[in-house]
Amino acid sequence: MPSLLEARFCPICAAELETRLVDDKERLVCPACSFILYINPKVAAGMLIEDDNKVVLVQRGVRPAKGTWALPSGFAEYEESIEESAVREALEETGLQVEVDDLLGVYSYHSEVVGRGVLVLFSGHVVGGEMRAGDDADEVGRFGPDELPPMERIAFSTHRQALHDWKQAKAVVVRPATVGEANAVTRMRNEHEFLWERDYTRFVQSQDRELFVATEREEVVGFANVSPQANGTVLLEQIFVLPQYRRWGIATRLIDAVIGFGQQHEARALISVVPAVSPALIVYLKAGFRIAGFDQTYYPENTWGTNTALFLAYDLINQ
C-alpha cells in the first residue's frame, strides 16, 4: 500500500501534485487548487492497566512484531478523544473495561511499517469485563515487575521504556522515615521551597507523629508527614513527590500509608488543607477525600496565585 510520502494526485481535484517549498520545507502541493498535503505523524493511544500490582500485556497476533508482547494500544480514530481511543483499544485487545487514571507519557516512535508517530500512554484500572485475548491479540496475561517477558520480547521501544519506568516505580518502598531520611526531606524542602518549614526529625522522634518516605535504592523521592489532632482526627500536613516520579501513583501509596496511620490511632477522619489551585488536589480526590470547606486566610496571599485553601476530609470510621 503506498504511503502519503508516495502520493501523486490531489485528493481534492485529482490534479497531479508537485513539490514546492512551503514554510521552509518541501511539501506536495496541488498546482490546480493549491491544496497542500501535510504529512503528519500517526497518533496511537495505549493503556498501562495495573491489576493486583501486575500489568496487563497482550501477545501480538499480527505484524509488525507478531508473537511479541505489548501494552494494549492502537491508532486513534478521528471521532474519538485520545482517552476514548485508549479505553477502546484496551477493551478490544484484553476484554477488560477500563477507566483512565492518569497520563503516563507521550512517546515518539519511527516504524518502517507505519512511519513516524506518537504514542499517548495512560494508566488505567479495571472496572468490568473478562480478560480474554481479542482483536489482533493471540494471548493476554498479567505480569508482576519480576515476571515481565525479556525486553527483547517486548514489541516496541516505547512500550519497553514505559514498562522499564513502571518496574522502577514498583521498586519504590513507602515506610516510616529514619532520622537520616528526615534530614534528606529537609534538603528536599529547601530545594523545592515549600510554604511551611518543619523540623522533620521531630516527626521521626515523636511517638504520636509520623514521617513517611518513599525511597528508591535508599534515595528519598517523596514524603508525607502526619500528626494526630485533639478533635480525634489526623492531619496530613504535607505530601510531596519529586516531579519525575509523579506519574506512577507514589503519592497515592503515601496517602495509603497515612490512612493506615489514622486507623492505627483510631481516628475518625483524616484531614488536610490544600491550595485550591494545587495540582495535588486531584490525587486527594481520587484517593477518596471530599471537600469539607474552604478558607481565604489560611495561606499567605499570592503564594499560589490565590490564597484560597480547601479543607479535605477522608472518613476513617466506616473504612
The three-state DSSP-derived secondary structure of 52-107 is CCEEEEEEECCCCCCCCEECCEEECCCCCCHHHHHHHHHHHHHCEEEEEEEEEEEE
- Residue 194 is given by DSSP the state -
Looking up residue 275, the CATH number of its domain turns out to be 3.40.630.30
The pairing of strands 269-275 and 233-241 is parallel
The yes-or-no verdict on residue 275 having pLDDT over 90 is no
Domain co-membership, 218 together with 133: no
Looking up residue 28, the CATH number of its domain turns out to be 2.20.70
Mean pLDDT of the region 174-183? 97
Q: Compute the radius of gyration of the chain from its Cα atoms.
A: 25
The yes-or-no verdict on residue 300 having pLDDT over 70 is no
- Residue 154 is given by DSSP the state B
Listed in sequence order, the residues at least 6 apart from 222 whose beta carbon sits closer than 8 Å to its beta carbon are 172, 213, 214, 239, 240, 241, 242, 245, 250, 251, 254
The tally of domains found in the chain comes to 3
Domain co-membership, 197 together with 261: yes
pLDDT at 257: 97
Looking up residue 71, the CATH number of its domain turns out to be 3.90.79.10
Look up 16 and say whether it is catalytic: no
User: Which pLDDT band holds residue 161 (cuts at 50, 70, 90)?
Assistant: very high
Give the 3-state secondary structure of residue 111.
strand
Rounded Cα distance between 273 and 310, Å, is: 6
Domain co-membership, 203 together with 308: yes
Q: Is residue 277 part of a domain?
A: yes
The yes-or-no verdict on residue 304 having pLDDT over 80 is no
Domain co-membership, 177 together with 301: yes
Domain co-membership, 27 together with 58: no
Listed in sequence order, the residues at least 6 apart from 303 whose beta carbon sits closer than 8 Å to its beta carbon are 195, 275
Domain co-membership, 206 together with 311: yes
Listed in sequence order, the residues at least 6 apart from 246 whose beta carbon sits closer than 8 Å to its beta carbon are none
Rounded Cα distance between 298 and 262, Å, is: 24
Report yes or no: 120 and 45 within 8 Å, Cβ to Cβ.
Answer: yes
Report yes or no: 134 and 50 within 8 Å, Cβ to Cβ.
Answer: no
Identify the CA nearest to 47 among candidates 155, 127, 121. 121
Report yes or no: 95 and 130 within 8 Å, Cβ to Cβ.
Answer: yes
Annotated catalytic residue, options 16, 77, 99, 139: 139
Report yes or no: 226 and 202 within 8 Å, Cβ to Cβ.
Answer: no
Identify the CA nearest to 172 among candidates 228, 237, 256. 256
Domain co-membership, 8 together with 67: no
pLDDT at 99: 93
The yes-or-no verdict on residue 1 having pLDDT over 50 is no
CA atoms within 13 A on the CB side of 98: 32
Residue written as cell 518496574?
167
Q: Is residue 149 part of a domain?
A: yes
Q: Is residue 42 part of a domain?
A: no
pLDDT at 64: 86
pLDDT at 52: 87
Domain co-membership, 27 together with 56: no
Report yes or no: 248 and 284 within 8 Å, Cβ to Cβ.
Answer: no
Q: Is residue 242 part of a domain?
A: yes
Q: Is residue 303 part of a domain?
A: yes
The pairing of strands 115-129 and 42-51 is parallel
Amino acid identity of 225? Answer: N
Question: Of the residues 149, 170, 191, which one is the last residue of a structural domain?
Answer: 170
Report yes or no: 164 and 132 within 8 Å, Cβ to Cβ.
Answer: no
Domain co-membership, 154 together with 232: no
Three cell numbers, residue 171: 521498586
Q: Is residue 111 part of a domain?
A: no
Domain co-membership, 232 together with 272: yes
Tens digit of pLDDT for each residue in 86-140? Answer: 999 999 999 999 999 889 989 998 877 678 899 999 999 999 999 999 878 999 9
Domain co-membership, 194 together with 287: yes
Q: Is residue 221 part of a domain?
A: yes
Q: Is residue 80 part of a domain?
A: yes
pLDDT at 29: 97
pLDDT at 195: 65
Domain co-membership, 185 together with 300: yes
Report yes or no: 236 and 271 within 8 Å, Cβ to Cβ.
Answer: yes
User: Which pLDDT band holds residue 305 (cuts at 50, 70, 90)?
Assistant: low
Q: Which domain holds residue 87?
A: 47-105+122-170
